[in-house]
């Protein structure tokens, strides 16, 4: 496979689509029925929240004229707005969308996929991105990282 093609295939939205495809596949195997009638409603809310978070974070990055491409070179350190609550709101949005799909299709056996997806994203993308951000922005990145959770949360430091 050509290197440029493999770089475009190895992107978080592709991994998310593969995980959602696996959830759908599990759903086709058998009806699970664990989440009950609330599952699709809660799943829809999570997916919509994920899409809104993704759009908001991407919009912030585009407005700041910095890259949304995981392997791109950032021009600005995003620390305000959604990025004050999560260093990775787009990846958090992906996890919400995947969680919503699991609830929507009522596939409890797929819950471990969310944790597997988050582990994969952290080790394939986030850690490298943090290295680039630290090298590019130095103490400013360290200060932001100390007060803002990798996935979610804000310290009062």
In tens digits, the chain (157 residues) has pLDDT values of 556 656 667 899 999 999 999 999 999 998 778 888 999 999 999 999 999 999 999 999 999 999 999 889 999 999 999 999 999 999 999 999 999 999 999 999 999 999 999 999 999 999 999 999 999 999 999 999 999 999 999 876 5
CA distances (Å), 79 to each of 71, 140, 150, in order? 19, 9, 12
Cα(115)–Cα(107) distance, integer angstroms? 15
Q: What is the pLDDT of residue 128?
A: 96
Provide φ and ψ at 154, rounded to 5°. Answer: -135, 130
Cα(124)–Cα(118) distance, integer angstroms? 10
Q: What is the pLDDT of residue 5?
A: 58
Q: What is the pLDDT of residue 4?
A: 66
Q: What is the pLDDT of residue 120?
A: 97
């Amino acid at each position: 496979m050509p290197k440029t093609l493999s770089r475009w295939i190895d992107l978080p939205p592709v991994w998310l689509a593969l995980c959602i495809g696996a959830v759908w596949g599990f759903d086709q195997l058998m009806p699970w029925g664990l989440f009950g009638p609330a599952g699709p409603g809660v799943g829809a809310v999570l997916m919509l929240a994920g899409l809104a978070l993704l759009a908001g974070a991407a919009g912030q990055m585009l407005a700041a004229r910095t890259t949304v491409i995981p392997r791109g070179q950032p021009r600005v350190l995003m620390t305000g707005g959604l990025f004050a609550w999560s260093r990775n709101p787009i990846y958090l949005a992906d996890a919400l969308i995947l969680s919503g799909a699991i609830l929507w299709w009522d596939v409890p056996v797929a819950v471990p996929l969310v944790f597997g997806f988050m582990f994969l994203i952290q080790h394939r993308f986030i850690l490298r991105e943090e290295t680039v951000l630290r090298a590019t922005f130095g103490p400013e990145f360290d200060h932001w990282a100390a007060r803002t959770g990798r996935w979610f949360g804000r310290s009062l430091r």
